[in-house]
Chains A and B, each alone.
Chain A
Amino acid sequence: MRRRVLKEDLRLKKIIKNITLADWTLFLVLLVVSVAGIFITKEALPRGTDVTIEINGEPAYTFPLNVDRTIPVSGPYGDTLIEIKSGRARIREAHCPNRVCVKQGWVSKGVIICLPNKILVFVGSGGGDKSGKEIDAVTG
């Protein structure tokens, strides 16, 4: 038993002894690349992480953006169907007069508003980058 441990220990020492500068460099490069990868994907994909649904000005539901689902929400104009799919959200079905919300289509970051039904869908409210390029409000 003790002998085997000693043998293993010797083998490890041998490996460490044989590690060249090139090996260390490769190891370092891989480490840097993988850590950088985390930041690069975060920057390249400034997507929100969840969907918050407000009804009548009160937050009602929060769902993750990466799980596909359909949520029925009732309002003065019947049921409104909110769909989350492939990291985006939309109002699939509504029975309000103008259906502006349905026409808005898929949103990966922003707000979908249905005024007649008093429903707000915040897409990506949990996300947001800290680069200072973020916009505080939109006019128009």
Chain B
Amino acid sequence: MYKKSRMLMDTFVTITVVSGSADEADEAIEKAFSAIERFGALINFFSDKSEVAEINRKAGMSEVRVSPATIDIVERAVYVAAKSGGAFDPTIGPVTKLWDFTKKKKPSGVRIRNNLRLVNYQNIIINRDKQTVFLKEKDMLLDLGGIAKGYAADLAVINLQQNGIKSGLVAVAGDIRGFGSRPDGGEWKIGVKNPRQRNGSDEIIARISLSNKAVSTSGDYERYFFINGRRFHHLLDPKTGYPAECCRSVSMIADEGVFADGFSTAVFILGPKKGLELVQALGMDAIIIDNNGKIHATPGLEGRFEIEENH
């Protein structure tokens, strides 16, 4: 088993592969890293040179011709948005940019309401034939950050398989996709981080076994600040512009990383009840830790999901 890590897409990417040859493993991992890097450059919200930046600059003006990978991920983002009734919305950018979670900046209600008008995934116009994306309203912002890491894990897995790797695990930060099995023949073991860490290091609350599946987690502990004991975090409800408060974390298990990533955010926003209904309608699985710390898991996880001792 060979494992390598790299900083890509402003995060920490680890690829593990099972291979008989160190050279073969190394070459395949490097190629997969390159694939992630190329993709990251296309959809980087913060880089002026990305295709997403170009789409945003031309919002309300003209359509932008983009590469197949960009069309592909935008289509999937719109699909997740539509399936979740807008609980996940890749056009939430104008509201997100009002918040600053490092400087503990909470915007005024008026500014949030004003910018909420620009949030509507139905105003993303995709033209498959012409390979273009167009945002209908001026000042709209497309931000694929809520779905891009999962998609990157998918790309890396496809790339590894094309290079002859039969088993492996790709982790783009907490967005993970496994294929094949561990060297011991078992399934890949994935820890779910405790949303309320008790001892400072990466404490795990549960573990899941999976092969040929992806898992992603959305949590209120990643970027947040407190005002008068109230937690303000980065998972904003596209309907209100404020953080959704029903969950601490949602781990979504799906066949593809892009859907695990997108729907984990959607289910987090919807909360445990509506969220579980959506998960079941989609035929996927999820572990939801609600705002009381209670753990809800879908029946499909039976036998492959274990809560750690002391929880």
Contact = CB atoms under 8 A, between A and B. Distances in A.
Most buried by B among A56, A106, A132, A139: A139
A98 interface: yes
A138 B193 contact: yes
Contacts of A109: 201
What does DSSP make chain B's interface, helix, strand, loop or mixed? strand
B70 interface: no
B6 A110 contact: no
A105 interface: yes
B251 interface: yes
Contacts of A108: 201
B35 to A, nearest CB: 16
Nearest to A88: B201
Contacts of B171: 137-139
B86 interface: no
Interface in B189-244: 189-195, 200-202, 204, 207, 215-217, 219
Interface residues of A, number: 26
A111 B174 CA distance: 13
Given A97-B102, A139-B251, A140-B219, A106 B200 contact: yes
B16 interface: yes
Interface string B269-299: 0000000000000000000000000000000
Given A57-B5, A132-B184, A135-B207, A140 B174 contact: yes
A137 B176 contact: yes
A136 B251 contact: no
Contact of B191 (A54, A106, A113, A135): A135
Contacts, number: 84
Interface in A74-122: 97-98, 104-111, 113, 115, 118, 120
A97 to B, nearest CB: 6
A134 interface: yes
A134 B207 CA distance: 10
Contacts of A140: 174, 192-195, 217, 219, 249, 251
A136 B16 contact: yes
Interface of A: 54, 56-57, 97-98, 104-111, 113, 115, 118, 120, 132-140
Given A138-B192, A140-B217, 17 more contacts: A56-B7, A107-B201, A115-B10, A115-B12, A132-B186, A133-B189, A135-B190, A135-B207, A136-B16, A136-B190, A137-B169, A138-B191, A139-B171, A139-B217, A140-B174, A140-B195, A140-B219
16 contacts: A104-B201, A106-B201, A107-B201, A115-B7, A135-B189, A136-B16, A136-B189, A137-B191, A138-B171, A138-B193, A138-B202, A138-B204, A139-B174, A139-B175, A139-B176, A140-B193
